[in-house]
Amino acid sequence: SHVWLNGAVLPAEAAKISVFDRGFLFGDGIYEVMVRLQGRFFYGEAHWERLERNLEKIGIAYSVSLLRQNVSDLAQVAGLLDQDVLLYIQVSRGTAPRQHAFPKDITPTAFMYLLPFSLPDVNTKRMEVSVLPDQRWERCDIKMTSLLGNVMAKDSAVTGGAHEAVLVRNGKITEGSHSNVFFVKDGELFTHPKNRFILDGITRDITLELAGSLGIPVREEAVAQIDISQMDEAFLTGTSTQIAAIGRMGTHTFFEGSEIGPITQRLQQAFLALKNQ
Ligand code: PLP
The residue range of the domain holding 103 is 2-116
Question: In this predicted model, which residue has the larger pLDDT, 40 or 258?
Answer: 40
Q: How far is the CA of 240 from the centre of ligand 1 (A)?
A: 9
Helix pair angle (202-214, 262-276), 10° resolution: 110
The reported pLDDT for the residue numbered 256 is 87
Band (pLDDT 50/70/90 cuts) for residue 257 is confident
Known active-site residue 143: yes
The reported pLDDT for the residue numbered 45 is 98
Tell me the CATH number at 103.
3.30.470.10
Q: Is the CB of 180 under 6 A from ligand 1?
A: yes
Please state the rounded mean pLDDT for residues 176-188: 98
Band (pLDDT 50/70/90 cuts) for residue 153 is very high
Residue nearest to atom 1 of ligand 1 (CA): 179
Smallest CA-to-CA distance from 232 within 207, 259, 200 is with 259
Angstrom distance (rounded) from CA 92 to CA 137: 19
Q: How many structural domains comprise the chain? A: 2
Please state the rounded mean pLDDT for residues 49-74: 97
Q: Are residues 83 and 135 in the same domain?
A: no
Looking from the CA of 258 toward its CB, the CA atoms found within 13 Å total: 3
Q: Write out pLDDT tens, residues 154-164.
A: 999 999 999 99
Q: How far is the CA of 180 from the centre of ligand 1 (A)?
A: 6
Residue nearest to atom 5 of ligand 1 (CA): 178
Smallest CA-to-CA distance from 177 within 155, 204, 205 is with 155
Say if pTM beats, i.e. exceeds, 0.95.
yes
Q: Are residues 142 and 62 in the same domain?
A: no
Q: How far is the CA of 239 from the centre of ligand 1 (A)?
A: 7
Of the residues 16, 57, 104, 143, only one is catalytic, namely 143
Of 151, 178, 181, 241, the residue with max ligand 1 atoms within 8 A of its CB, to mutate for a pocket test, comes to 178
Looking at the chain, the whole-number percentage of residues with pLDDT higher than 70 is 100
The reported pLDDT for the residue numbered 149 is 98
Q: Write out pLDDT tens, residues 101-143.
A: 999 999 999 999 999 999 999 999 999 999 999 999 999 999 9
Q: Are residues 150 and 243 in the same domain?
A: yes
Residue 180 pLDDT > 90, yes or no?
Answer: yes
Q: Are residues 112 and 131 in the same domain?
A: no
Residue nearest to atom 2 of ligand 1 (CA): 178
Band (pLDDT 50/70/90 cuts) for residue 52 is very high
Q: Is 122 domain-assigned?
A: no
**Mean pLDDT of the residues in the chain:** 97
Q: Is the CB of 203 under 6 A from ligand 1?
A: yes
Q: Are residues 83 and 183 in the same domain?
A: no
Q: Are residues 250 and 153 in the same domain?
A: yes
Q: How far is the CA of 97 from the centre of ligand 1 (A)?
A: 32
Nearest atom in ligand 1 to the alpha carbon of residue 177 is 3
Q: How far is the CA of 192 from the centre of ligand 1 (A)?
A: 13
Residue nearest to atom 12 of ligand 1 (CA): 201
Q: Are residues 136 and 221 in the same domain?
A: yes
Q: Are residues 55 and 173 in the same domain?
A: no
Q: Is the CB of 237 under 6 A from ligand 1?
A: yes
Band (pLDDT 50/70/90 cuts) for residue 258 is confident
Q: Are residues 105 and 144 in the same domain?
A: no
Nearest atom in ligand 1 to the alpha carbon of residue 143 is 5
Q: Are residues 131 and 109 in the same domain?
A: no
Can you say how many angstroms the Cα of residue 235 is from the centroid of all Cα atoms in its chain? 15
Q: Is the CB of 264 under 6 A from ligand 1?
A: no
Residue 171 pLDDT > 90, yes or no?
Answer: yes
| Alpha helices (runs of H) in 215-261, residue ranges in sequence order | none
Residue 193 pLDDT > 90, yes or no?
Answer: yes
Angstrom distance (rounded) from CA 90 to CA 78: 18
Q: Is 159 domain-assigned?
A: yes
Q: Is the CB of 199 under 6 A from ligand 1?
A: yes
Q: Are residues 61 and 140 in the same domain?
A: no
Three-state secondary structure of 157-192: HHHCCCCEEEEEECCEEEEECCCEEEEEECCEEEEC
Residue 5 pLDDT > 90, yes or no?
Answer: yes
Band (pLDDT 50/70/90 cuts) for residue 175 is very high
Q: Are residues 134 and 236 in the same domain?
A: yes
Q: How far is the CA of 254 from the centre of ligand 1 (A)?
A: 23
Angstrom distance (rounded) from CA 181 to CA 175: 5
Please state the rounded mean pLDDT for residues 11-35: 98
The reported pLDDT for the residue numbered 181 is 98
The reported pLDDT for the residue numbered 27 is 98
The reported pLDDT for the residue numbered 272 is 98
Residue where one domain finishes, among candidates 74, 94, 116: 116
Q: Is the CB of 153 under 6 A from ligand 1?
A: no
Tell me the CATH number at 211.
3.20.10.10
Residue where one domain finishes, among candidates 69, 90, 116: 116
Residue where one domain finishes, among candidates 72, 97, 116: 116
The reported pLDDT for the residue numbered 70 is 98
Q: Is 54 domain-assigned?
A: yes
